[in-house]
């Protein structure tokens, strides 16, 4: 069957051929075809192969080869345990030991603690110790996503000795494009690029060619803060230090991309009023459990709206036409508030909103609300006047829209800023919550004005 095999490295995998080779139990041809593919394509096939085919893959692939697949896989966090259960326990432990330590920690954090301890017990002492050190750091901090597989060079070494160190350490390092320099007490002293080392004279001292102005992050820093720092400076890697500037590890750009995706998904979930949207729920019951808390809260807020309208029953009885415009006013206020909310939450998430600019944001959003409210108010006044030939009613509806949009816009930016100030995730001021809150405000403004000027209608 050699004519069926790919002759070029890293091509797309022929899934039908790979499946047939597994089913026909032809390990050599399977390995030749499967391992010629790109690791990402290998991971995609592995994820959807099914337990039966995967168990045969464990027989044909070494733990190190499977570790490379796990490194790039997109297996949902809650499913890691199921995949590991398919493997022999010793095989799974060896596979985890072959992964980069930070990625192995991500897997172990998602499975049963007793099972994780079993895997750690079966590993070589050095591998287990490296992973255990990372497991101690608090989740969502720099320590929890850093890797300890990096290259350091003594400050007083020559370029020639640095190259020797680099050759020995590079096979195990996650990246070698940045080489960090440490002093005798393992304090971060500087950084030198691979390019700098290659073009420097081999007798030069590293301390003379390194850059001493190194941007680093504390091990306790929030992962979002780390992501912003790497984005701002366009780093491929950033060192992680403790309060005494001891070098503890590095964070690479691929880990930061995962963080950005995770944080964006988390914020979007909260904005939509859903607790978690990382993976689609296959069970309607599980999906309902995640959505019901917000829906129940919004139901109570809706009851407040209904009760509020009950207080204006006499006004609505006298001028029934007022009820026609309630959905219009509430809808425009809700949409305006959600727009303002999105601007504020995005600014907080990206770090664009600093302490000194928060008041500027509020004033800018207030001005935006005033302008958009005025334009919409005038537009609606003209529509109502042309439709119903009622100037007073048109003025009332237009004024209500102006007031509602102005208040909704200010509230949409103020609430997330307030939550951020008191250390609550501003994304929980979700779109549905802001929309419902603005419904209450807009109805209160509209029917309150109608009650005041009922004699003119």
Is 109 exposed, middle or buried, given 0-12, 13-18 or 19+ CB atoms closer than 10 A? middle
CA atoms of 220 and 200, how far apart (whole Å)? 36
pTM higher than 0.85 for the full model? Answer: no
- pLDDT score of 439: 80
Structure tokens at 130: 């490296």
Say what the pLDDT of residue 5 is: 39
**Helix segments in 312-357, DSSP class H:** 313-318, 326-350
| Torsion sign, CA atoms 214, 234, 151, 220 | positive
Residue among 429, 440, 435 nearest 337 (CA) = 435
Residue 161, CA atoms < 13 Å, CB-side half-sphere:
12
Structure tokens at 92: 């799974």
* Burial grade of 196 (CB within 10 A; 0-12, 13-18, 19 or more): middle
- CB-based burial, 45-82: b 16+ in 10 Å, e otherwise: bbbebeeeebebbbebbebebbbbbbbebebeeeebee
pLDDT attached to residue 4? 40
Residue ranges of the chain with pLDDT lower than 70? 1-11, 263-283, 286-295, 297-298, 301-302, 305, 308-310, 316-320, 349-356, 425-433, 455, 457
**What's domain 284-456's architecture?**
Orthogonal Bundle (1.10)
CATH class, range 2-140: mainly alpha
Domain at 152-252: CATH architecture: Roll (3.10)
Complete edge-to-edge strand list for the sheet that includes strand 188-193: 152-154, 178-182, 188-193
Domain boundaries, the chain: 2-140, 152-252, 284-456
What DSSP designation does 426 have?
G
With tokens 């727009």, the residue in question is: 339
pLDDT tens for residues 30-88?
999 999 998 899 999 999 998 999 999 999 999 999 999 988 888 887 888 999 999 99
Reference 240, options 208, 285, 232, 229; nearest CA is 229
88: phi then psi, degrees, rounded to nearest 5: -60, 140
Per-residue pLDDT at 204: 92
| End-to-end CA, the chain | 88
Which letter does DSSP use for residue 403 in this model? H
pLDDT of residue 296: 73
**pLDDT for position 358:** 77
The C-alpha atoms of residue 188 and residue 247 are separated, in whole angstroms, by 5
* Residue with tokens 């909260």, as numbered in its chain: 270
Closest CA to 348 of 254, 414, 407, 285: 414
Q: Please tell me the distance from the alpha carbon of residue 85 to that of residue 54, in angstroms, as a whole number.
A: 11
């Amino acid at each position: 069957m050699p004519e069926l095999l790919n002759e070029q490295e890293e091509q797309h995998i022929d899934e039908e051929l790979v499946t047939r080779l597994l089913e026909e139990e032809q390990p050599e041809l399977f390995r030749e075809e499967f391992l010629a593919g790109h690791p990402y394509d290998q991971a995609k096939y592995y994820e959807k192969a099914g337990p039966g085919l995967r168990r045969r893959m464990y027989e044909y692939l070494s733990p190190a080869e499977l570790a490379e697949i796990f490194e790039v896989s997109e297996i949902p966090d809650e499913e890691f345990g199921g995949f590991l259960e398919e493997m022999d326990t010793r095989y799974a432990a060896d596979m985890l030991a072959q992964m980069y330590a930070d990625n192995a920690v991500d897997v172990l954090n998602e499975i049963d603690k007793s099972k994780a301890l079993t895997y750690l017990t079966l590993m070589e002492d050095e591998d287990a110790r490296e992973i255990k050190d990372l497991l101690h750091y608090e989740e969502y901090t720099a320590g929890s996503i850093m890797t300890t597989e990096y290259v350091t060079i003594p400050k007083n070494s020559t370029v020639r000795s640095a190259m020797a160190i680099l050759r020995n350490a590079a096979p195990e390092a996650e990246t070698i494009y940045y080489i960090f320099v440490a002093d005798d007490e393992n304090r971060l002293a500087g950084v030198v690029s691979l390019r700098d080392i290659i073009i420097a004279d081999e007798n030069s001292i590293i301390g003379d060619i390194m850059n001493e102005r190194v941007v680093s992050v504390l091990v306790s820093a929030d992962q979002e803060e780390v992501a912003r720092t790497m984005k701002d400076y366009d780093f491929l890697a950033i060192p992680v230090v403790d309060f005494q500037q001891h070098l503890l590890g590095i964070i690479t750009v691929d880990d930061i991309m995962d963080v950005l995706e995770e944080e964006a998904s988390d914020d979007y979930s909260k904005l939509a009023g859903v607790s978690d949207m990382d993976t689609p729920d296959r069970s309607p019951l599980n999906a309902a459990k995640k959505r019901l808390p917000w829906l129940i809260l919004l139901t109570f807020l809706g009851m407040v709206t209904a009760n509020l309208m009950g207080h204006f029953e006499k006004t609505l009885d006298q001028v029934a036409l007022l009820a026609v415009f309630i959905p219009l006013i509430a809808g425009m206020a809700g949409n305006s508030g959600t727009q303002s909310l999105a601007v504020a939450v995005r600014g907080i998430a990206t770090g664009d909103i600093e302490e000194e600019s928060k008041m500027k944001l509020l004033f800018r959003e207030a001005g935006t609300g005033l302008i958009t409210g005025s334009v919409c108010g005038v537009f609606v006044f003209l529509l109502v006047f042309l439709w119903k030939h009622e100037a007073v009613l048109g003025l009332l509806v237009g004024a209500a829209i102006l007031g509602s949009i102005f208040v909704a816009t200010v509230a949409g930016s103020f609430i997330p800023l307030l939550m951020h100030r008191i250390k609550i995730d501003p994304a929980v001021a979700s779109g549905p919550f802001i929309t419902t809150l603005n419904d209450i405000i807009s109805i209160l403004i509209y029917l309150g004005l109608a009650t005041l000027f009922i004699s003119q209608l």
